[in-house]
């Protein structure tokens, strides 16, 4: 019987023993990953902290947008959620939070999938920013027309949306202007038209006034009442008669250098985050 067993072909039990030996010593067939250098560890921690900072900023932006939407609940009649300015904060916060969270988890868990998603999103955002900047340079005249149309829309919906009312008031106070081309543009608003009922008829908002504070401290919300019924000289003594369209265009031209510098800094920040993610991905 022993001689017959010796003559039998190689059995599968021998293969099992060899497999067990290979499983007991996997380093022979599957060498372990290389040990990361201190620099790689440092880059990984910096990538995590970098994305954590932008995650917090994104969540803060999202919270501001949600708070702005809930503060106006229920929404005024005729104002749809899709046209609410605070929706921009919500969308920006969601986008920044999602991308930054992917970068955080990708660096923390060394996940190639999340790191690739983060890199793709950063490259997409950077490309859109560069494309938007080029379009603004090529269509500066068209941009001015778009801004004027937006200002006119804000004037028409001044009393219907608290956010637009706040933006228009801040714009008129800071630039010392009134209306789009002149203070007479407020006649197109149904609440300030001279034929409208109420105390605001034939008037302008208090943000148009040259002295919106009474006695230097108390806001005078009635300082613009009846201004549209006055002559140009009398109205000029009470409110700013120049329009905000030209003033806003001049301000934007004066701030072109600061806007370009801010856009460049943003692109550099995104590039630094992408480079760190690439380093972590290469080490993974």
Whether residue 74 is predicted with pLDDT greater than 80 in this model: the reply is no
Q: Copy the structure tokens of residue 77.
A: 């009649």
Tokens of 23: 């499983």
Nearest CA to 224 among 240, 213, 208? 208
Q: Is the pLDDT of residue 103 over 70?
A: yes
Tokens (6 digits) for 25:
């010593």
Q: What's the pLDDT tens digit per position in 174-219?
A: 889 998 888 888 998 888 888 888 888 888 998 899 887 766 667 7
**β-bridge mates for residue 214, sequence order:** 218
Give pLDDT tens digits for 144-168.
777 778 888 888 888 887 878 888 8
Confidence of residue 10 (pLDDT cuts 50, 70, 90): very low
Please classify residue 99 by burial: count the beta carbons closer than 10 Å to its beta carbon, then call 0-12 exposed, 13-18 middle and 19+ buried: buried
Domains of the chain: 38-69+85-146+265-283 (no CATH), 152-251 (1.10.1450.10)
138 has pLDDT over 60: yes
Q: Give me the DSSP letters along 106-170.
A: HHHHT-HHHHHHHHHHHHHHHHHHHHHHHHHHHTHHHHHHHHHHHHHHHHHTTTT-HHHHHHHHH
Longest dimension (CA), the chain: 127
Structure-derived torsion over alpha carbons of residues 179, 185, 188, 189, reported in degrees to the nearest 10: 30
Cβ–Cβ contacts within 10 Å for residue 70, how many?
A: 9
For residues 151 and 171, what is the distance between their CA atoms, to the nearest angstrom? 10
Predicted local distance difference test score (pLDDT) of residue 283: 83
Check residue 254 and give its pLDDT: 85
Strands annotated E in the chain: 213-214, 218-219
- HSE at residue 1, side-chain half, CA atoms within 13 A, is 0
Residue range 96-109: average pLDDT?
91
């Amino acid at each position: 019987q022993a001689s017959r067993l010796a003559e039998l072909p190689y059995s599968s039990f021998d293969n099992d023993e060899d497999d067990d030996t290979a499983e007991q010593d996997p380093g022979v067939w599957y060498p372990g990953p290389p040990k990361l250098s201190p620099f790689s560890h440092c880059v990984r921690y910096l990538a995590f902290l970098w994305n954590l900072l932008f995650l917090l900023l994104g969540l803060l932006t999202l919270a501001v947008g949600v708070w702005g939407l809930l503060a106006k609940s229920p929404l005024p009649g005729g104002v749809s959620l899709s046209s609410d300015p605070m929706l921009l904060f919500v969308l920006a916060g969601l986008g920044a939070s999602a991308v930054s969270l992917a970068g955080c988890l990708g660096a923390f868990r060394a996940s190639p999938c999340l790191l690739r998603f983060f890199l793709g999103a950063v490259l997409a955002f950077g490309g859109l920013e560069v494309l938007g900047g080029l379009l603004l340079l090529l269509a500066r005249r068209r941009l001015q027309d778009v801004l004027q149309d937006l200002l006119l829309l804000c004037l028409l919906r001044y009393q219907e949306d608290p956010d637009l009312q706040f933006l228009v008031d801040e714009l008129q106070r800071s630039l010392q202007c009134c209306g789009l081309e002149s203070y007479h543009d407020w006649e197109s608003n149904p609440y300030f038209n001279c034929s409208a009922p109420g105390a605001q008829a034939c008037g302008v908002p208090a943000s148009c006034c040259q002295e919106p504070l009474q006695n230097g401290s108390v806001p005078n919300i009635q300082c613009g009442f009846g201004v549209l019924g006055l002559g140009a000289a009398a109205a000029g003594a009470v409110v700013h008669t120049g329009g905000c369209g030209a003033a806003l265009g001049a301000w934007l031209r004066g701030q072109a250098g600061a806007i370009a510098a801010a856009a460049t800094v943003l692109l550099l920040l995104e590039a630094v985050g992408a480079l760190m993610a690439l380093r972590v991905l290469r080490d993974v």
